[in-house]
Structure 1
């Protein structure tokens, strides 16, 4: 089963992958036609490599063993390919294998490299990074006082790893502001990938924080629970929240999309190695019962999250709202090597049903709604007819509604402090009004 890895996760105690899931592909090789009639190895370049190795061993100021030199050479080869390919040493490979379990040790932050700078792709819900207020787009300029400029991503990750409970200080820059420090405690993090609740009677909210192995199944269960909480009645509308979702397992993204689609292509991939060209289509079952759907995305929505958003948009199944997504449209395959090591290699690009490649471009929402902070003006309390002594009752028998009884003091709702979510809910209500529901 192929997987679409997500951006580099510091939520893992020692993860070094741009995505937790991986595909065993020991037998994947380049097509024979590409090597037929050509030298298997570039002998001149290999002689040069051997000569450089020999000169370093003989003349470098300090002794360097063969193992270190050869592993550095491998890392150098990979570093010049693309940001998502990597050579995984045993500990890193083990962490990658464990990362789909949803239980990590670390900070709860997804990072990537942009213009040689360490950038936050997204914080993971309910983790130290999210609770500390770290946001997608923040630049990490120092780790415990050491500048990250010139650091490789692997070096930065290694410095941010540590024992749960230990402290770490990150220096961040946000949207050109002055640097500021954030102190975090590393933690063992259990990520709940799917959450859902009723925003109002008839209107549901479903959030996917990342795509784990069981996320498709959890979405199905959550849809059923929301219907039950709605008195067994079909929902009037649903908000699917993919904001700050860094991706994860490709198969889970397909399963989630399939809960909302009844036919047609969901996603397809193209690459050079065997089995890299895959197509996934929807089946007729519809766990969502065709409920009106608004999907929220932003710059932290990446990889598998973009697959879901792109499929729903191409099939006109959902209105996409928010801001442009991250733009990671490549598939990584993990190729196990000898000695418990592995090579994580970009092997394919994925395409939306209409043939769009979002690599380095992202998905543009149908309705752009920027993030905003909600503030409520203090409104003077006005008297109403029902406040006046001797007022007439309602002719249809309805209850009086004097001032001061407009739900003040009611329990806060997610949409009250989330402008984008509030706009999504308003759009769903408007759609129902025009449809006469």
Structure 2
């Protein structure tokens, strides 16, 4: 898994077996031929290239400075085959395959960051909430230029991530570059990452926040519980909901479908298109909307990828929510995990997914309805204004309301929106929608 494991690309959608999350753990290894039968069954084997391959292998074994066994050469050849397809296809050895299955359960070891490759550098796609990476202040878009003092440029993703892995509790120093600035070091300790995929709270009376950090097998169920908790805590029907998908690297496709299903009553959620028959699927709402159709804002940013984009795109196309923030990452491909013998597997891109209106998100992302960039909130005092209620002998309120002299208000409890500009803007929009709809 990318949470500082040895895989080579984005987001948890890579952990998906289309239509059956985690089924890859139990299925027998599929034959290699059927997946490509439609295009390649009649094509003759490229004998000249196979002769070249065999000759190269013989030359390496005979002339390389150190002995190399056949198994190592063949494994490296397989890895090379996959690495030149696209950034999300890979050959998974036993350790990688086990980590991939483990990561979708919500607990794994590492630093808690999703990483990708860009122009030969290792780039942070997003830090995961409540992990060593997020606590150390690592941000989406940071470039990792050194690992324990060794430059990462020129290394493969696997090599770089291998160096970031290690024993739990062991410290590691990453040298980062942010926004083209001066490199700086961040030292953090590896830990067992336990990710709670859904968090929720009332921002104020009538307005609830649901944050999804990544899409795991039980995320749909957790969102259902979060909606019930918000209704209970509020004591009545909500006036609005904010679904926060910022820095959410993605996850299991079925979980994304279930989340959307909690907010709409009918219509298409997402569909996929690929070359093989079982890669073309359509997912639609089941009619179990649990949100009571209250106004809704979805927050996204450049760290929102894969399954996050499925959710945002579906709710946007269905006119169910206002999407706010900045353009998402743009990972619109689906990976299938094909188990092989000896606890190994292939992870290959088999399809592209499309929003209900037929939009492919691949390399473009979801463009928000309202762009709101990240900004710092600076609270300024309202000034020592003298009010009518401060005047001696002032008239009382004719409706029986209490006097409100200056300085009479108590200090409000700190809330997430106080120092989160995008969240504050989303809440303000919901309040405006509530007022104009007469809620």
With the shorter chain as reference, the TM-score category is over 0.9
Shift of 1:16: 5.6
User: Which of 56, 61, 69 is the equivalent residue of 1:57?
Assistant: 61
* Contact 2:3–2:110 (Cα < 8 Å) also in 1: no
Alignment of 1:5-404 (within 5 A): 8-10=2-4, 18=10, 19=12, 21-23=15-17, 24=24, 26-27=29-30, 29-30=34-35, 32-39=37-44, 41-231=45-235, 233-404=236-407
Residue 75 of structure 1 deviates from its aligned partner by: 1.2
Distance 1:371 1:278, change over 3 A: same
TM-score by length of 2: 0.94
Contact 1:16 1:92 in 2 (8 A): no
RMSD: 1.5
| TM-score, structure 1 normalization | 0.95
CA distance in 2: counterparts of 1:297 and 1:351, whole angstroms: 18
CA-to-partner distance for each residue in 1:385-413, whole Å, 9 max, x for gaps?
Answer: 112222211111000111112342x2101
Distance 1:293 1:342, change over 3 A: same
What number of residue pairs does the alignment pair up? 426
User: Hey, what's the Cα distance between the residues in 1 that align with 2:246 and 2:39?
Assistant: 41
Please give the alpha-carbon distance, in whole angstroms, between the structure 1 residues aligned to 2:193 and 2:7: 13
Distance 1:31 1:185, change over 3 A: closer
Q: Measured at CA, do residues 32 and 158 of structure 1 come closer, stay the same or move farther in structure 2, by a change above 3 Å?
A: closer
Counterparts of 2:209 and 2:136, CA distance in 1: 24
Q: Tell me by how many angstroms 1:375 deviates.
A: 0.9
| CA distance in 1 between partners of 2:217 and 2:59 (Å) | 48
CA positional deviation for 1:31: 5.2
Unaligned regions of 5+ residues in structure 2, if any?
18-23
Distance 2:8 2:97 in 1: 8
Q: In terms of mean alpha carbon deviation, does 286-295 or 60-69 score higher? A: 60-69
**Structure 1: unaligned runs, 5 residues or longer:** 1-6
* Distance in 2 (alpha carbons) for counterparts of 1:58 and 1:36: 35
**CA shift for structure 1 position 17:** 6.2
